Amino acid sequence: MRHPQSVPKLYKMRSLTWLSVILCLAIFSTHGNCQRGLSGNVYVEKQLLCALEKGPCDILGRQIKDALPQIIGKNCQSCDKKQLANAKRVARFVQSKYPDVWNDLVKKYGTASTQN
């Protein structure tokens, strides 16, 4: 199942941007390179499972999980250009590899208005 059609495209991009920024920062802090880290799907999947409470969390996973209500519920309101560039790269990755996970994250962490 892909993203629900009822979620506006702009909202999805903003929310994906923040999620992507966090994932990219997580990957960068571990691997030193966002693009290289994306090739290691196991690490990304571990963080996504943690966020969905379907797997154990490390320190970074807990930070991501704590940030998701603000990210998904409030949208991306303070991204700088570098964060946005990294976010777009990671957003494309998440959209193509984990569309169902994104849908679950919106259901779990979004507000009523973001789930319409």
Q: Give tens-digit pLDDT for 19-40.
A: 666 666 555 544 445 555 555 5
Alpha helix segments (H runs only) across 1-116: 9-31, 34-38, 41-51, 59-74, 81-97, 99-109
Locate 105 and state its tokens. 């994250």
Confidence of residue 53 (pLDDT cuts 50, 70, 90): very high
Which top CATH class is 9-110?
mainly alpha
Confidence of residue 57 (pLDDT cuts 50, 70, 90): very high
In the block, tokens 């303070």 appear at 78
Q: Where are the domains of the chain?
A: 9-110
> How far is 101 from 107, CA to CA, in rounded Å?
10
Q: Are 52 and 101 in contact (CB under 8 A)?
A: yes
pTM passes above 0.95: no
pLDDT at position 56 is 95
Considering Cα of 38, then 40, then 41, then 42, what sign does the dihedral take? negative
pLDDT at 12 over 60: no
> How far is 32 from 13, CA to CA, in rounded Å?
25
Confidence of residue 7 (pLDDT cuts 50, 70, 90): very low
